[in-house]
A and B are shown apart, each in its own frame.
Chain A
Amino acid sequence: MKVSVVKDILSANDQLALQNRQLLDSAGVCVLNLMASPGSGKTSLILRTIDALRGRLRIGVIEGDIASTVDSDRVAAKSVPVVQINTGGQCHLDAPMVQRGLAQLPLTELDVLLIENVGNLICPVDFRLGEDVNVVIASIPEGDDKPYKYPGIFVAVDAVVINKVDLMPYLRFDMTAFRELIAGMNPGVSIFEVSCETGQGIDSWAEWVAKQRSAKLDE
């Protein structure tokens, strides 16, 4: 006998993500899910964003890593609320992990929550966390072919941050082709060229983050 099921396999995660989202909505917190491969500069971008928006928006951070508190220690040094989630081997954050993280944050005292996902361009994109916007960080040393190899993530995000542009003179990276490819795959995506080393481009990125937060309040 054949039994029709037609059930999304990630529905349990999606439901919890929705709960997270409702909790964050009621606290007026705008949430960014930052995804990237290891070493692309996720934590550096978070640190730069905290500095750029200091005194203007209150930022909290969830750090997702397989192990260690290296990242959360760096963020805590900026005196912002931070929670470290160690996934113990799992290659992405999921909604239940974020739910436990949210319980440890003073949500009513936050305007923006930055979630640093586990370094990986593949599965994080399949798991909703309760975020408002999804961002992928690419970096110059990774090469300009990544959207071909990982289309799933590049078509699903609201913004692409291209980090380490200060290395452009030393590496072969066709920025025009890269931007055209992303824009072709994902119309309407916002693209930022930044260097977390020099600070180049951080202001316009931070401005975009602030705009996401005001857009959410206007909803």
Chain B
Amino acid sequence: MHELSITQNILNIVVEHAKRAEAQRVRAINLVVGDLTGFVDDSIQFYFDMLSPDTLAEGARLNIQRVPARVCCRSCGEQFSPQDYSWVCPRCSALGGDVLSGREFRVESIEVE
């Protein structure tokens, strides 16, 4: 459900930057979404198709680049992506670590004409 308001935010950001660039139309929107956020690609696309008509972004392609969770082991410093819900370090078997990436949620760029 929360993707509705989120997608409206995305659209606002996109239209604002498209206007600033004096664009006629937005062809593509490049998003960066971390796996540790709760945002679902299909759901964003669904609401985008609903909200974007009659805006500069109508018909734009949504490119969503997912960023996997990366964790740094606090025991041995190994950097790894947790697999199968497991936060066990593949090198030293210590549990968990500091989150390096996976929390991203931004509009990276837009392609306009």
Q: Give me the interface of A with B, judged by CB distance under 8 Å.
A: 1-10, 12-13, 89-92, 94, 122-123, 125-126, 145, 148-149, 151-152, 155, 180-181, 183-187
Looking at the complex, which one of B1, B9, B112, B113 makes contact with A91 (CB distance below 8 Å)? Answer: B1
A215 to B1, CA, bound (A): 36
How far does the Cβ of B45 sit from chain A's closest Cβ, in whole Å? 15
Residue of A nearest to B98 (CB): A187
Chain A residues with CB below 8 A from B1, complex form: 89-91
| CB atoms of B96 and A6 under 8 A apart | no
Query: When the two chains form their complex, are residues A185 and B106 in contact, meaning their CB atoms are under 8 A apart?
Result: no
Q: How far is the CA of A36 from the CA of B37 in the complex (A)?
A: 16
Q: Are A123 and B2 in contact (CB under 8 A)?
A: yes
Residue of A nearest to B88 (CB): A184
Cβ 8 A contact of A6, one of B82, B85, B107, B111 = B107
Tell whether, in the assembled complex, residue B6 and residue A6 are in contact, meaning their CB atoms are under 8 Å apart: no
**Interface of A: prevailing SS:** mixed
Q: Please state if A3 and B108 are interface contacts (CB–CB under 8 Å).
A: no
Asked whether any CB of chain A lies closer than 8 Å to the CB of B74, the reply is yes
Q: How far is the CA of A152 from the CA of B37 in the complex (A)?
A: 7
- Report A-chain residues with C-beta under 8 Å of the C-beta of B94: 184
A10: chain B residues at CB < 8 Å are 6, 9, 105
Q: B18 on the interface (CB 8 Å rule)?
A: yes
Q: List 21 A-B contacts (CB under 8 A).
A: A1-B21, A3-B18, A3-B110, A4-B108, A5-B14, A8-B106, A9-B106, A10-B6, A13-B9, A90-B5, A94-B5, A122-B38, A126-B38, A148-B86, A151-B69, A152-B37, A180-B95, A181-B95, A183-B95, A185-B97, A187-B74
Complex Cα–Cα for A102 and B109 (A): 36
- Chain A: minimal CB distance from B91 (Å): 15
Tell me how far the C-beta of B12 lies from the nearest C-beta in chain A, rounded to whole angstroms: 8
Q: What is the 8 Å Cβ interface bit string for chain B, positions 65-107, against chain A (1 contact, 0 not)?
A: 0000100001000000010011100000011111100000111
Additional A-B contact list (9), CB under 8 Å, known A5-B17, A6-B107, A122-B38: A4-B108, A5-B14, A5-B106, A5-B109, A6-B108, A90-B5, A151-B69, A184-B96, A187-B74
